[in-house]
Chains A and B, each alone.
Chain A
């Protein structure tokens, strides 16, 4: 079974630009969550999508947005990039919503975004 796929793996953007990151979940998984990982702030929850609906949102500005398609693939978009947006963006997929082994979240390798 293929794991979570994230594209691109590496990205360099200039301040003020916008970026779109893609996540393909494990086949059959309907929930996708996004996290930002930085050395200073650690792993922070961005948002979660289940059946194309945003279910949860973290404390990030409106420049961060996402969506989920009918095939469960998800994209996140960051507009008007700032230097502080440089981070590893991780996507996690799960069968559904819930806490427990049945709903284990599988993380992708991440997209390394560098804003210059």
Chain B
């Protein structure tokens, strides 16, 4: 049972454009939603995270939008750059449930010049 669904599987965006990746979750016990960025040959690295009591969080060019009633959240990358080309994973965690992260299936982003 996939508890966190992520789309699209792959995404090609022009330099300077906006990249949007969407995730939906099923388990309402999830209360922490991080996004990870992974480059080839590297482990995932935390990019930005949000809790469900906040509808939006922005850090630089990266913004998370959160819709608690729809159980959906999304990552927006503004002014996308070739250096942003990587695989992005959304994840969900339950406070008090240890450090277990439930990941989405990943989105391979390519930013073209």
Contact = CB atoms under 8 A, between A and B. Distances in A.
Contact of A105 (B89, B95, B99, B106): B99
Interface in B38-55: 41-46, 49, 51
Contacts of B58: none
Interface in A17-59: 31, 33, 35, 42-45, 48, 50, 55-56, 58
Contacts of B51: 100
Contact of B32 (A44, A50, A99, A108): A99
Contact of B99 (A4, A92, A108): A92
Contacts, number: 73
Which DSSP category, helix, strand, loop or mixed, fits chain A's interface? Answer: strand
B101 interface: yes
Interface residues of A, number: 29
B101 A55 contact: no
Contacts of A50: 98-99
B9 to A, nearest CB: 11
A56 B98 contact: yes
Interface of B: 31-32, 36, 41-46, 49, 51, 89, 93-106
A-B complex: 10 closest residue pairs judged by Cβ atoms: A107-B43, A99-B32, A43-B103, A56-B98, A99-B95, A99-B93, A42-B105, A55-B98, A56-B100, A107-B44
